[in-house]
Structure 1
Amino acid sequence: MGIVYLRPDDGDAFRQALRVVRQRADVPVVFGGQVADGSVRLSEFAGMRTAALKGLRVRAEAGLGGQVLASRRPGAVQDYRSAVTISHDYDAPVLAEGISSVVAAPVTVRGSVRGVLYGAARGAFPLGDRVLDTVVDATLHLAGELTIRDEVDRRLRLLDVVEADRAVPRDGMASEEVRELHAEFRAIAQGLDDAALRDRLHRACARLAHLTAARDYVDAPSLAQRELDVLSQIALGCSNAEAARRLSLRPETVKAYLRSAMRKLDVHTRHEAVVVARRWGALP
């Protein structure tokens, strides 16, 4: 049975995106939330003076956020109270917070809106294009993060299916697919800032390696994560330059990690390094 690894809370990613907006655009109020059941639930806030907007569900087409949700396009109003381009379903909580100017942008992943980020100001402080551009940039970065998490989930589900079937031969097409999956996991993990998600991928890589290991070795050489990153690419037949490109490293850095791994494995060629790493269960 496969081990269940919980996906990191996407709310953390939304909060980080809002922090970036507030810092880069110097906007006094930021908030947002994820889409569930066709509406945006406002759950992340910074700069608020009241709890009026906390937990509010914004329906499609209703208010600025609902308009953004329905159209999948960013929007803005410079004077919320008198704006004629949006509905005023949420005047009470918005005006209770004193918000006068607000921008919003959708977090769109593969054509589906997964959330909305807002930037807002109080009083006579209209928000310009720079703030909207910053919010849009933050949604694009957040969408990229969610896309990676979705792909990790998809591939981990695939791994669970493979483990359940226990039908991974030691050679042939299936073994190559497992090795390619292992190398892709390591390449994705190498570029992640999210430590929890990176650790999750490394654990998945260990599971893949153990699928084809003859048995567990308690005295196996301890290879660093970057050394395993490089060996996983070499195992696919990549040159040092190709491995460097896949891992976003310099070719000289790849060579250094490869030399270090060869020394730990007590081998003299890259081919031997892959063979011995597989024998020890470090690679699939």
Structure 2
Amino acid sequence: MLEQVDALQQALSILQRSAGVQVAFGGMVGDRRHIRMSQLRGTRTNALHGLAVNAGAGLGGKVLSLARPAAVGDYATATDITHEYDRPVLAESLRSVLAVPVVVNSVVRAVLYGAIREPLAFGDRVLLVAMRVGGELATELAVRDEVTRRLALAERAGAAPGQEDLREANAELRAIAQEVAEPELRERLLSVCARLSGDGRSATPFPVRLSPRELDVLAWVGLGCGNAEIARRLGLLPETVKSYLRGAMRKLGTHNRHETVVAARRLGLLP
């Protein structure tokens, strides 16, 4: 749960900065019926902290019920939302407010809000930015769900997650990271990969640095995939995969695929 809160905080920070809103806030969804406001940025009071917004009520409740974004140009006078939460909203002097759902596997997991203290309608750019941030948070939550699922399966089997499970998860996470447009989210996903790989300390006296794409390729090589399959998974040409593999071999001083993967694992570059 703490990891979800951390991801939510990061998303709100990106929303506030990228969309240029004065206030960004939001919360995770509980039992699909309410949003508990837990993270606030740019607020002047504690009026919104801990507020529970029920499905169908107010702007966020509308977004929760419909699973689609919505915005109002002047919260206090908006006619297309209910007004159960006017007091805390107006205590913050919020006028224009937008809300976007964070949808994972057709379920709204969180709602992000952006607001300003003037009654100005949000332009398309701001709404698109908010939707992008919501989509990126959905991707991160989905990734974390998959990692949690794999660990739970291993625990039910009565054993710690096997090395092959970790290696497969690492390869999949690296592939997802390359599809994420937001640099900060991509770096966070890659940091998870680094933790799966260990502490990264080298057994040799000299450091070896492989590029992210070289590591992507080696992660799948280590799972026994051929170049054509790796190219399909990573959206590359087979010749490009060969080029990355040759680059990794040159840096590691190896002569074949197996040696290269073994060397990368020995250095803590792969799990």
Q: TM-score, normalised by structure 1?
A: 0.70
Shift in Å at residue 223 of structure 1?
Answer: 6.9
Match of 2:226 in 1: 238
Query: Retained in 1: the 8 A contact 2:74–2:120?
Result: no
Q: What amino acid sits opposite 2:98 in the alignment?
A: V
Report the aligned-residue RMSD: 4.0
> Is the 2:217–2:245 contact (alpha carbons within 8 Å) kept by the matching residues of 1?
yes
Structure 2 stretches lacking a partner, 5+ long: none
1:266 deviation in Å?
6.2
Instruction: Find the counterpart in structure 1 of residue 78 from structure 2.
Output: 83
Partner of 1:31: 25
Secondary structure in structure 2 of the residue aligned to 1:157: helix
Residue 59 of structure 1 deviates from its aligned partner by: 0.9
2:88 aligned to which of 93, 100, 111: 93
Secondary structure of the residue that 1:42 maps to in structure 2? Answer: strand
Within 5 A, what are the aligned runs for 1:58-73? Answer: 58-73=53-68
Offset of 1:72 from its aligned partner?
1.0
SS at match of 2:110: strand
Alignment partner of 1:15 is 2:38:
no
Measure how far apart 1:272 and its partner are: 4.9
The 2-side partners of 1:68 and 1:104 are apart by 7
Does the residue aligned with 2:159 lie in a helix, a strand or coil? helix
Cα distance in 1, alignment partners of residues 47 and 160 from structure 2: 51
Percent sequence identity over aligned pairs = 49
AA aligned opposite 1:230: V
How far apart in 1 are the matches of 2:22 and 2:162? 56
Q: Identify unmatched segments of 5+ residues in structure 1.
A: 1-6, 169-174, 207-217
**1:45 and 2:40 are equivalent in the alignment:** yes
Query: Are residues 182 and 11 of structure 1, via their aligned partners in 2, closer, same or farther at CA, if it must alter by over 3 Å?
Result: closer
**Aligned partners of 2:37 and 2:66: how far apart in 1?**
18
> Is 1:268 matched with 2:260?
no
Larger radius of gyration: 1
Distance 1:122 1:196, change over 3 A: closer
In structure 2, relative to structure 1, the CA distance for the partners of 1:263 and 1:164 (3 Å cut) is same
Paired position in structure 2 for 1:209? none
Q: Are 1:60 and 1:66, in contact at CA under 8 Å, matched by a contact in 2? A: yes
CA shift, 1:21, in A, is 2.5
- Contact residue 120 and residue 127 of structure 1 kept, 8 A: no
